């Protein structure tokens, strides 16, 4: 199995953390989807990373579909509850973490446009989603040890990947001084080899 991605993408990191936690071997093929000669579209028609290429050449995307599949591959460290409200809560936490990244990435892309073409309204709208997403994550976590239920799940992985991406690309977003519970979670996650070995670069 090959994972096509980069070391900076929070969505790729989420998959890499799941692979590590479930002890799934894979080849990490580094690809930048933004270069003119990128090979990403050869696997993912959407031209986005991550993309999982199976032994038979079949491609699986996006990151949510990939991690849901990976969780079924073996019984090691189940990261998504089997059914019902517990499952949907973890998947919704993943949507929240990914959504924070979506908004942050849209802001970053807008900031890469020619200055005269950048929309301050658009940037404010996206950064509002980042701020509201962080507030919702802090509310949902509260003083619990984990985001959902009573143990480490995909909810913590998605939230941790989003927080790590903000640290990496948006140091001006002061979530650490605003949300001590999120800091406690992030610092706890950082001690896991799956997080330490995949820190964005």
Question: Interface with ligand GSF by CB under 6 A: which residues?
Answer: 9-11, 33, 47-50, 62-64, 98, 105
Task: State which residue, 10 or 133, has the beta carbon closest to ligand GSF.
Answer: 10
User: In terms of CB distance, is 24 or 183 closer to ligand GSF?
Assistant: 24
CB of 5 to ligand GSF, least distance (A): 8
Query: Least separation, in Å, of the C-beta of 27 and ligand GSF?
Result: 18
What's the min distance (Å) between Cβ of 11 and ligand GSF? 4
Closer to ligand GSF by Cβ: residue 33 or 81: 33
Burial string for 74-109 (b: 16+ CB within 10 Å, else e) reads eeeeebbbeeeeeeebbbebbebbbbbbbbbbbbee
Please give the Cα distance from 197 to 193 (Å, whole number).
Answer: 6
> Shortest distance, CB of residue 61 to ligand GSF, whole angstroms?
6
| d(C-alpha 162, C-alpha 141), whole Å | 14
**156 neighbors 189 (Cβ within 8 angstroms):** yes
């Amino acid at each position: 199995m090959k994972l096509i991605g980069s070391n900076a993408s929070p969505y790729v990191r989420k998959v890499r953390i799941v692979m590590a936690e479930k002890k799934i071997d894979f080849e990490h093929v580094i690809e930048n989807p933004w270069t003119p000669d990128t090979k990403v579209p050869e696997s993912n028609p959407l031209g986005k990373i991550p993309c999982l290429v199976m032994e038979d050449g079949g491609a699986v995307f996006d990151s949510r579909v990939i991690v849901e599949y990976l969780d079924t591959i073996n019984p090691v460290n189940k990261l998504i509850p089997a059914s019902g409200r517990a499952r949907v809560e973890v998947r919704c936490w993943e949507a929240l973490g990914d959504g924070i990244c979506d908004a942050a990435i849209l802001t970053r892309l807008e900031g890469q446009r020619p200055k005269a073409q950048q929309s301050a309204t658009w940037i404010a709208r996206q950064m509002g989603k980042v701020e509201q997403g962080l507030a919702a994550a802090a509310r949902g976590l509260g003083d619990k040890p984990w985001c959902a239920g009573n143990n480490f799940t995909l909810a913590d992985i998605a939230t941790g990947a989003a927080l790590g991406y903000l640290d990496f690309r948006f140091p001006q977003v002061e979530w650490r001084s605003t949300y001590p519970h999120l800091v406690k979670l992030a610092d706890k996650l950082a001690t896991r080899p799956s997080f330490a070995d995949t820190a964005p670069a």
